[in-house]
Structure 1
Amino acid sequence: MNADDVELCRVYGQMSRDYLGHRAWVECEPELRAGWLRLRRNPALDWDDVASLVKTFWELAPVDPDGT
């Protein structure tokens, strides 16, 4: 995994949290997995390779308490 892959994980995790943040990670994970498989630049990076990193960035992103 290179710096570009990590940056993509950061953006994906933060934007996903912004969009789906009112839902729990476990509820969103299948949707996030499918999205990653469409979005990834490096086809060698499967969801299992990046899920923990995406989740870390998801958890670091602020959540709008109003869900808007």
Structure 2
Amino acid sequence: MSVGQPPAHRPKWFKSSYSGGNATECLEAAYTPDGVLIRDSKRSSGPRLELSRRAWAHFVAGVPAR
């Protein structure tokens, strides 16, 4: 029996509805128990930005409505 780290949470990624048809500039996000992860859809194994729930709420509140 292994004593290492427990299996990592596998986030369910989604693209913004504002992404449109432009496949060259898209972010993906995933909700986690602690907040939200954000990544570049073209580099899914690349770096991720982790935001707290509070920071995400402030970000979304600052996005202008279309």
Instruction: Please confirm whether the aligned pair reaches a TM-score higher than 0.5, indicating the same fold.
Output: no
Larger radius of gyration: 2
TM-score normalised by L of structure 1: 0.27
TM-score normalised by L of structure 2: 0.28
- Higher relative CO (Cα under 8 Å, sequence separation at least 6) belongs to 1
The structure with the largest helix share of the pair is: 1
